[in-house]
Amino acid sequence: MKKLLIVIDFQKDFVDGSLGFSKAEELDERIYQKIKKYQDEKQDIIFTFDTHQPDYLNTQEGRYLPIEHCLKGSPGWELYGKVGAFYKENNNKENIKAIEKITFASLDLGVYLKDKDYQEVELVGLVSNICVLSNAVIVKAALPETKVIVDASCTASASEDLHNKCLDVMAGIQVEVVNR
């Protein structure tokens, strides 16, 4: 079975940087183990990078969320912890891909997936109620007959209430939410 793991924005600024929160740090080992499993099974892995420029505060997102984060090339833009170390060591492998995105969801991700024959796509990472949810919708739109999974034990939000609500919403659009 051809599977894909998408690691959404597991970047330093979302873990221990300008938008970090304690629950995010707890995910590093779990996400790393999942990445290793996919790598051992020779499956594909995509890492998304929330990517902003110095004019971020002048963008629509920046006006609604006026906290500079994930400025391209800054330490906060880098992937966090063991996940980041794995990416640095393996990003040149054929089954590893990076997608930079300028907002919550990535149309580039949808275009890339459109004609792929994945039987299963799993999403993990940050933040559950913003970028994980947005990209799950993109995956469902690009691959409507593919099983899409979100591992609740490998995603989080600074708001537990919003986290749980978004897991409910994803289940409502036929994303399988596991390990809740």
pLDDT at position 164 = 98
pLDDT at position 12 = 98
| pLDDT tens-digit map of 111-148 | 999 989 999 999 999 999 999 999 999 999 999 999 99
pLDDT at position 159 = 97
Q: Are 56 and 71 in contact (CB under 8 A)?
A: yes
d(CA 50, CA 72) in angstroms, rounded, equals: 9
| pLDDT tens-digit map of 21-66 | 999 999 999 999 999 999 999 999 999 999 999 999 999 999 999 9
Residue 16 amino acid letter: D
Residue 35 amino acid letter: I
| pLDDT tens-digit map of 137-178 | 999 999 999 999 999 999 999 999 999 999 999 999 999 999
pLDDT at position 29 = 98
Number of domains the chain contains: 1
Q: Are 125 and 9 in contact (CB under 8 A)?
A: yes
Domain that residue 158 falls in: 3-178
CATH number, residue 96? 3.40.50.850
pLDDT at position 65 = 92
pLDDT at position 158 = 97
pLDDT at position 144 = 97
| pLDDT tens-digit map of 58-92 | 999 999 999 999 999 999 999 999 999 999 999 99
pLDDT at position 52 = 96
